[in-house]
């Protein structure tokens, strides 16, 4: 997920193209980093509560497909939503394994 967050963050760099002032470009850059911040917050919440990551990343994958449907080639949906679905599955599998083994989730 960390690699995916870095990958998504690279798209924010296109905000520095054009003839706008540095201040305007910086503001646009920060707006483009909102998905990065959202993904990072969900990742932090999911670190100990895997079900949060499983559900959240799956829903974000679905949301991206719904919002962007018809605007891009099919490969784009696989590149963006695919890693979200994969990470969601991994978090859910880990959560199920912990539940079966009875490992305590909360830090002491």
How do the domains of the chain map onto residue ranges?
A: 2-101
User: In this structure, which long-range contacts are made by residues 22-29, counting pairs with CB atoms below 8 Å and at least 24 apart in sequence?
Assistant: none
Q: What is the pLDDT of residues 30-68, one digit of tens each?
A: 998 999 999 999 999 999 899 999 999 999 999 999 999
pLDDT mean across residues, the chain: 90
Q: Number of H helices and number of E strands within the chain?
A: 5, 0
Q: What is d(CA 96, CA 35) in angstroms, rounded to the nearest whole number?
A: 28
pLDDT at 96: 92
pLDDT in tens, 7-21: 999 988 888 887 888
Q: How far is CA 7 from CA 30, 32, 63, in A?
A: 16, 13, 18
The percent of residues in the chain predicted with pLDDT above 70, rounded, is: 94
Question: Which run of H or E residues covers position 7?
Answer: helix 2-10
Buried b / exposed e over 8-17, threshold 16 CB at 10 Å, is bbeebeebee
């Amino acid at each position: 997920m960390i690699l995916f967050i870095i990958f998504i963050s690279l798209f924010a760099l296109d905000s520095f193209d054009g003839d706008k002032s540095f201040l305007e470009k910086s503001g646009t850059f920060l707006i483009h980093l909102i998905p990065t911040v959202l993904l990072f917050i969900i990742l932090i919440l999911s670190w100990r509560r895997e079900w949060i990551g499983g559900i959240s990343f799956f829903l974000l994958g679905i949301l991206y497909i719904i919002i962007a449907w018809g605007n891009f080639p099919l490969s784009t949906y696989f590149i963006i939503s695919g890693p979200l679905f994969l990470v969601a599955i991994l978090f859910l599998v880990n959560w199920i394994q912990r539940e079966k083994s009875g490992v305590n989730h909360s830090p002491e």
